[in-house]
Structure 1
Amino acid sequence: MVKYRLKITDILIESEDTWTFLLEMPEDFNWEEGSHAHIGIEGYDFNAPKGTFVRHMSIMTLPEEGKIGFTTRKRGELSVFKETLFNMKEGQELLVFKPGSRMALRRENRPLVLLSMGVGIATMRPLILQHHFNPMGIKEVYQINVDAGGSFLYQKEFESMADDSVKHTWLKGRNGLDEVLENVLSNESPIFYLVGSDAFVIQRTHWLMEHGVEFKDIVVDKKEQFISRMLMMSPKDFQMIL
């Protein structure tokens, strides 16, 4: 496994509590839209709990942009990882390794619904950009973001892109989400991409399946173990997370 020690080239303050970190891109570091990577801070290489010094982050850029980027939020009590990260400066280094993808675009001549909660929209940004560059095999894209704070990430960027095949919906809370999804379900065989908290992903997956969507048409950025447990949940277990 190759570990890249990469300099932070830019720190973009998207809002008071939401920052984007852009890193230099090695020539041999490749990824596709919807990918993630492990990001490590100083200390990862020492004999300490790995979770303290490394996080799994969505890559919110495409290789064509020449930067590896990720967006994250600082809310509540910060972990060691986030406290260190938010005190870092341009020119300092982060460890990047083990890229992978579970969220690449499916080009099956069907509509795609990209449903995210909060900063989860970072996973959707490269999907939207890739579709913008090459819409082949995708009928339409419905981007739906739920953010109770009302500070919608990438909203201006998305809405500045002249693309009639992408429709954006921004919701300040989950009220109205059912109605939005019911309207989308009236389209022919959409494929759903879900990103958010575990509870959000579980609740929305079960909701979609109850409304006739087969699980094979629901794409989630989760490991197989999580998916297996989610699909085996009883109604009682399901209610406990709501």
Structure 2
Amino acid sequence: MTASLSPLIELRGVVKNYHTKAGAFPALKGIDLDIYPGEFLGVVGKSGAGKSTLLNMLTGVDQVTSGQVQVHTNGTSINLSDLTENELTLWRGRTLGVIYQSFQLLPMLNLVQNVMMPMDMSGLYHPRRSKERALDLLEMVELTEHAYKYPSQISGGQQQRVAIARALANDPPLIVADEPTGSLDSVTADHIFTLFQRLIKADRTIIKVTHDQGLLPRFSRYVNITDGELVEKGREL
């Protein structure tokens, strides 16, 4: 699958240490990983294994202690460590869609306004167009009839679908999902996976973090992280 493609993201020797009273704690220990366009990549591991830290490195939320995270999009190659905080914010807004386990919808905004927010913040779309696009995205996740409701008025599964629509707001090539189905019932979680698979067919790249080994057959590829190290990688299912 990946032999003829160039990586979208390259991690080379990525180390992340956190300093504690007991000394340096190595959260990531020299991670090497290529992520390719159109992949549905699972990052699998137990709590505390380093999954969220790896996600923070991929998204530029936190800086590597050593090593490189190189991202290739729109004909350009960027080393995330070379960007200022403002440049990182701009890059994330245009390149990344992030889906959180806790949804993180703003309770004082209706669903349309929640989906519009990334577009309004980035300035990539005219306000009129951003509303049209938000409604189109809510239609894609089958929530048109709830568009003007508030998050408290819909179910957890519906809130997750709104979070997915919001992650797609700026049409990013890369979507990062942090345990997005962990708190959902099995039927709703299956619907979310089906939606992810539709997005892959639409040329998105998705990186999903999970602790659930039972989800492995749903990924096009997965890596297993234990104690900050990749112990199994590049396996295609």
Normalised TM-score (structure 2): 0.32
Give the structure with the larger helix fraction.
2
